[in-house]
Amino acid sequence: MISNFVEKSCPTNRLEIKDPNNSKEMEYNLAELIKYMVSVAAEKNPPKMYTTGQLAKYFGVSITTINNWINENRFIGVKRNAINEKIKISES
């Protein structure tokens, strides 16, 4: 569960848990996860968020194309939970 959380929240920072029954390994991974969470929470400049309209203008495509890209999972970690849900997409 910890490994999956880190993989989904930051794909480049992946914990590898070889033996989930090894308490020392789990303790180490939990400590690393907490360090990572603290570093993210302590960031002074949160990532800039963009609307679909802003991204469409940036990429030179229509808002419909951006919405299609969201539906095709081209933006990592961006999911639309409801039809016509307004979402903001992080610069990261």
Give pLDDT tens digits for 19-73.
667 788 878 878 877 887 777 777 677 778 889 999 999 999 999 999 899 888 8
Confidence of residue 83 (pLDDT cuts 50, 70, 90): confident
Considering only residues 6 and 37, tell me which one the structure prediction assigns the higher pLDDT.
37
What pLDDT does 75 receive? 83
What pLDDT does 7 receive? 60
Tokens at 44, concatenated: 């002074």
pLDDT of 15 > 70? The answer is no
pLDDT of 2 > 70? The answer is no
Q: What is the mean pLDDT of residues 11-20?
A: 60
d(CA 15, CA 29): 7
